Structure 1
Amino acid sequence: MKSSNNNDARYFSIDKYSCSVEATIDVIGGKWKSVIIYYLLDGKKRFNELKRLNNGITQRMLTLQLRELEADGIIHREVYREVPPKVEYSLTEFGQELRPLILMLKSWGMNNTEKVIENRSKYTNKLK
């Protein structure tokens, strides 16, 4: 699956991935993408709403993450021709396929956040 844009190595070929988990992480990995997807599970959101929900994300990073998710076919960007312009983001049908995975991540986080914090604290103290 070759890209028509040779400058974009990210989409160069399917041979790029050593396994399907790597391909999945390429699409939803990083600090923000899976969280953006999570907030879109319950419906359309505007840019500023996503920014408010994703505490700590910069405008530039949110724009980048949304563009990458759109390029991967996970989200749809709807631009309404009105003044001022209105833009809404929603999950595509393809993006909706991530629902069980995102909800499992949420559940794991709810069940294990305290343990992760505890483990990190132990590790940090061990390094001192």
Structure 2
Amino acid sequence: MIKRYSLIPSGGNWENIKDAMTNYANISKTHSNIYRRLIWDEPSITIGHYRKSMLIHPEQNRGLSWREAARLQSFPDWVRFAGNPDKSKWEQGIVHKQQQLANAVCPLLTKAVAEFILKI
């Protein structure tokens, strides 16, 4: 994974590493956000489920952490998502938190919609 990440330039994605993606049955059906490296000075791409998209840190050769993805969606660090870190990743652990983040509406978007409705 780290080797793959290192080959993807800023703003690039899986298309930069087609030859290295030998584990994909039909690479032509790969989503454009797979292995997407973010860019520091530009807005993030839309984050559906950041772990499934394998979003890459703008500089470091690693995927985004769960907390980094939450920050991109405007969740402050004090927000806690449900889940038990002592459980297996499939039993209310990190996968459960990742799904909550994927299903969430961004707080700043929620605020903007609420403010608009209050003006009506």
- TM-score scaled by length of structure 2: 0.27
- TM-score scaled by length of structure 1: 0.26
The structure whose residues are more often helix, as a share, is 1
Larger radius of gyration: 1
